[in-house]
Structure 1
Amino acid sequence: MTTFTTLSDVSLAQDKPVTQSIARAWRDNPLAIGEADATAPRITAKAINSQYFKVKRTTNQNYGNVGNVRLVLDTEVYDPDSVFDPTTNYRFQPTVAGLYLIHVRVQSTNINGAAALSAVVRKNNSTDEASGFDYQAAANEKLCADATTIVQMNGSSDYIEAFYGQDGVVATFGVIGEMWGYCVCET
């Protein structure tokens, strides 16, 4: 095991070439720290406390052919900072400004004809930040659409919602889905 060598300010501040003992300490001290030498200082990593959530809908949400509809995500998988509203607005509204990675997945449960299903990440109910779609040509196939994006959020009034839509011959069908997100960089 490598032994940690404490370097004093006096020995480092001398106006002379680096001595062999100082060079040896520069070489060996990182090893001593990595090997957990009893005399080495302890280095602790600080966990990043970023806001995150995951919500889902596990029962059918019926859909009529009416354009994009907000996905009612009423089951929280995790939301330690209470940044998602699963009862009224079904939206993610972070309290920390930053860049957030957001993902929406929508899956059909009973489409009976040719159709296309879309998943949409929408900011402040006006801007589609991302969308994805899936298409089927035959009946009794499940559709699954995903949308993923990074969104700038101000940490006060900005919010994100999950929407879905359908284009095809089907009058009604059911969907389930999920949305998750987390802060990748505070601003």
Structure 2
Amino acid sequence: MDETRRDRDTEGRAHNARPRDGLGRPLPYGTPGVERQPEGVVRAPRETVREAQRLLDAGMPFHAHEVFEDAWKSGPGAERELWRGLAQLAVGLTHAARGNATGGARLLRRGAAALTEFAASQGGDRAPEARGATAYGIGIDALTGWALELAARVEEAGAPAVDAAAEAPRLRADGG
């Protein structure tokens, strides 16, 4: 098969149909790969969190990013920074697992900043036990801390690529 051809969907838009590995890297046509996440799926927020956590736990942060991206594109405007930030954390973990320390750290920090911005937009006057968690139980403070710690660690000289499954964050503040 021609490796340079552009895959198109039924409307003629570019759509890469090449198989991918668990970290989202394209594989040669005809090679068995990890099934891709369907695009444009509208899920309830808790379902989004559950599916993304399943993928993160399986060491597939690239695929989790696609789940968050669907929520980012289909959700209410007031939640866009939340879902965008989570997508950036997943892509940052993807890059770190691929050995791209610079890109991984940059995206982890960008995602942490988006989550911080989202939390600030939700009002900082909530009770201490409610701060840092969304209505969906997502632990904003814990995720931000995880992202910044991992970003610093992957940037250390000689740091190896991370194991995506071992480094997977817990999305929910209650660990669920």
TM-score with structure 1 length normalisation?
Answer: 0.24
Higher relative contact order (CA 8 A, sep 6+): 1
- CA radius of gyration, larger in: 1
Q: Which has the higher strand share?
A: 1
Q: Which has the higher helix share?
A: 2
TM-score with structure 2 length normalisation?
Answer: 0.25
